[in-house]
Chain A
């Protein structure tokens, strides 16, 4: 939890965007179970006494739709997360340089530049 708190603190004004992305990622984890559930239903059908091939094909169609939706979701989520990540590291570097400007020169003589 401490790690999340630190991330939100570092995000500054972008805290809510970061929270939104984290929530979507958590939700994505739940949605990703869906294909496994469909696979389970397919296996159950195959093991049943009277195999209904039509039902299996319907389940396959649902599976294809689920994959389609999950991948579109993944695409936009990854793009937003990457963009936000790059923006945050840029903002952090700029604010760190600003902080360095405000420190006393003694801070730099006591610490090696590296």
Chain B
């Protein structure tokens, strides 16, 4: 944990260590008042009380407390500053790390899980660094220094004061072994709750449309109940050990009084010393109350740190600062096989094809056969298992990732717009583009007609995920973004799926502008949109089973021909009145 902490602190290590050091000094100072009280008792019970000395000791008490709190405030100030700086660094690092992770990482992880790490788990580190770390130090060192003082004053009475506390600590340490598993379960349940809430709020339109009430929203209820049950189970399992711990640490007087009476009776203990232990004993026990809390915080926060570190050190794609640049933009797949991480079974087997520069290649086939996976291997969502993918004469792994992505425009079926203006959403394709360039791209993508009707035109806020726009309008903004990027390779993944006929015509026009003179890989569900492409690859069960031009494939009478017949007959469907 400490090693992880130092790693996490990075450049802010010195501040964090200074804060810990100041907390230890403050803990040492907190014992001095007990020593002064003992001196006062000695003076009060002595036969000739020295007034001057008594007042001196009384005056010293607030002075010691003032110094102690000044040191403590400074320690907290440092720990807070270190914490916020560390968290800023960690969040920036996580943000940068996410840009370097293979895009496939985000397909495998749900948004809620990553959000929990970025937000909640990192937030818990703030509690740990700013509050719990210095407090843990004082919680350990104050009783430590006080125990040393008590043992220095009277060994037998110190034993009496600490005996029940030692039993309490043994109970809690034996029980703490089970805690790690419980903390893990709790944080997993917490993460699932977050994912469920994100999914629920994002899917509210579907929930309303299908009248899924909160009661019947099975997954939501199940995960909430799991979270509640985990907490109830944890509370039950820790309640008895905690009660025993609390009982032992709050009851040292039950031992101090009889032992003190016995020693006092045998004249081996002075009255002043007995009174001091009666005063300090309960305070000493109560100091241990917080150790239990901090032990729990410590475990929870360690688990949070582990989860944050898992993302910080998640395997990124191998990349180069300097690398090759393609001189041509044709795409070649050579004997490509692929399986997802941790899965031995290949989803693609020996894929071979070549898309010459400036031509269009369509991938068609039944759902779940690997078309999207083939297309997503080009921008390195994942790396291939065997074989190689070339752009021009170079393997895509030899390009710096940034350079590779700058060569490719991606238009997916799932559209993502940022909660910003239309202008800024289009400009994402080329951040340095002028307003005229953005408008020209929007015009080519057939966006201008609906943008001009909006109250603030290009400066209209699209709302979160573009909720203020229709699916067709959002898709055309994405195409405008791709047009502005002006990349030599275009990948279209079912860009016109689920679009109404009117929008489909406009989107088709926009797509025609986008693909002009570019190397294009298109996944199409509407076979009528790819009749004129240069090459069609028919994919089935992760293999290319047919290839050729539209007319050739129809003549062949294979899978494509059957799909085409089904498509043609579907176009003739209607509802008879």
Mark A residues whose CB is within 8 Å of B: 35, 39, 42-43, 46, 53, 56-57, 59-60, 63-64, 67-68, 71-72, 74-75, 78-79, 82-83, 86-87, 89-90, 93-95, 97-98, 100-101, 105, 108-113
Contacts and interface: CB of A to CB of B under 8 A. Distances in A.
Contacts, number: 110
Interface stretch (B102-110, B234-242, B333-341, B409-417): B234-242
20 contacts: A43-B278, A57-B261, A63-B253, A67-B247, A75-B243, A78-B243, A82-B235, A83-B232, A87-B228, A90-B225, A97-B214, A98-B214, A100-B201, A101-B208, A108-B204, A110-B463, A112-B419, A112-B464, A113-B202, A113-B464
Interface string B444-469: 00000000000000000001100110
A82 B256 CA distance: 33
A87 to B, nearest CB: 7
Contacts of A72: 243
B239 A79 contact: yes
A73 to B, nearest CB: 10
Counting from the closest, the 7 A-B pairs by CB-CB distance are A98-B214, A109-B467, A75-B243, A97-B214, A71-B247, A82-B235, A90-B228
B53 interface: no
Interface of B: 198, 200-202, 204-205, 207-208, 212-215, 217, 220-221, 224-225, 227-228, 231-232, 235-236, 239-240, 242-243, 246-247, 250-251, 253-254, 257-258, 261, 265, 271, 274-275, 278, 282, 419, 463-464, 467-468
Contact of B254 (A64, A100, A101, A110): A64
Contact of A67 (B213, B236, B250): B250
Contacts of A87: 228
B278 A39 contact: yes
A93 B224 contact: yes
Contact of A101 (B212, B228, B468): B212
B418 to A, nearest CB: 11
Contacts of A71: 243, 246-247, 250
B214 A95 contact: yes
A72 B244 CA distance: 9
Contacts of A109: 463-464, 467-468
Contacts of A113: 198, 201-202, 464
Contact of A53 (B232, B243, B246, B261): B261
B243 A94 contact: no
Contact of B240 (A46, A75, A86): A75
Nearest to B221: A94
Contacts of A93: 224
Contacts of B240: 75
Given A71-B247, A97-B214, A42 B278 contact: yes
A51 to B, nearest CB: 8
B166 to A, nearest CB: 17
Nearest to B229: A86
B290 to A, nearest CB: 16
B224 A90 contact: yes
Contacts of A112: 419, 464
A98 B232 contact: no
Contacts of A105: 204-205, 208, 467
Nearest to A96: B214
B200 A100 contact: yes
A27 to B, nearest CB: 18
Contacts of A75: 239-240, 243
Contacts of A74: 243, 246
A83 B228 CA distance: 9
Nearest to B465: A113
Nearest to A54: B261
